[in-house]
Amino acid sequence: MSAGTAGRDGGGGEPALFILAAVAAGTTGSVALGIALGALLPPFGIEVFDPGQPASQCVSIGFITTACLVLFRTGRPRVAVLIALMLPAFFAASAWPRGTGAAVASAAAGGALGGALVCLAAAFDALADAGYRFGKFLVAGPLVGGAYLAITPLAALGEPHGGRLIASMVFNTLLGIVIGDGAALGVEAAEAAFGPGRGPGPRDGSALPPGPPPVVE
């Protein structure tokens, strides 16, 4: 058995149980933090489950963020990039009723957020490989929150905001922190329970080619 195959089939490979548990835990973490924040900020709470409210991104973007983290941890960064590329279409579709200009601006904002999520997943993966098993969520939350802060004025282009831009920037920053912290904390919990998502092997998830047979002296 080659080293790559051992990493897949042995402990710490890429078990389906880990993937399912990590995606479920990360998404649930984002949703739970959003509901908990509702005790302080009414725009959160039960509105997390209302598709017509921005807080519902705790579910949708929380899931995508978690998926990117898990895919990087299981050695499939290319798939994570493909998922992140869905965000421009997602943002454009949600803004389409407000006009073409709003849809184009939102698509650009979605692309920027997708790039930030890929960078987050790469940093999370690198920190995990460096031996940091816990605490990576402390980096994830501010990174996603900063991305939301940066894309809010871009998404608002072409729309009359009537002085609400600052309030939207504050809300979206908190939304990003909730999503990043919840997703990363859930993935960390899954790795603590089921072991590392990726064993030794190449970064694209393929198996290492078998090496030459050992030479017997």
Q: Are 55 and 48 in contact (CB under 8 A)?
A: yes
Per-residue pLDDT of the chain (217 residues; tens, 9 = 90+): 333 333 333 344 456 777 888 888 888 888 888 888 777 777 676 667 766 677 788 888 899 999 999 999 988 899 999 999 989 888 888 778 777 877 888 888 889 999 999 999 999 999 988 888 888 888 899 999 999 998 888 777 756 555 577 878 888 899 899 999 999 999 999 888 887 666 544 444 444 445 555 555 5
| DSSP string over 165-200 | HHHHHHHHHHHHHHHHHHHHHHHHHHHHHH--S--S
Using one digit for the tens of pLDDT, what is the confidence trace for 34-45?
888 777 777 676
99/94 Cα distance (integer angstroms) = 11
Is residue 204 exposed (0-12), middle (13-18) or buried (19+ Cβ within 10 Å)? exposed
Quick one: tokens of 62? 């929380």
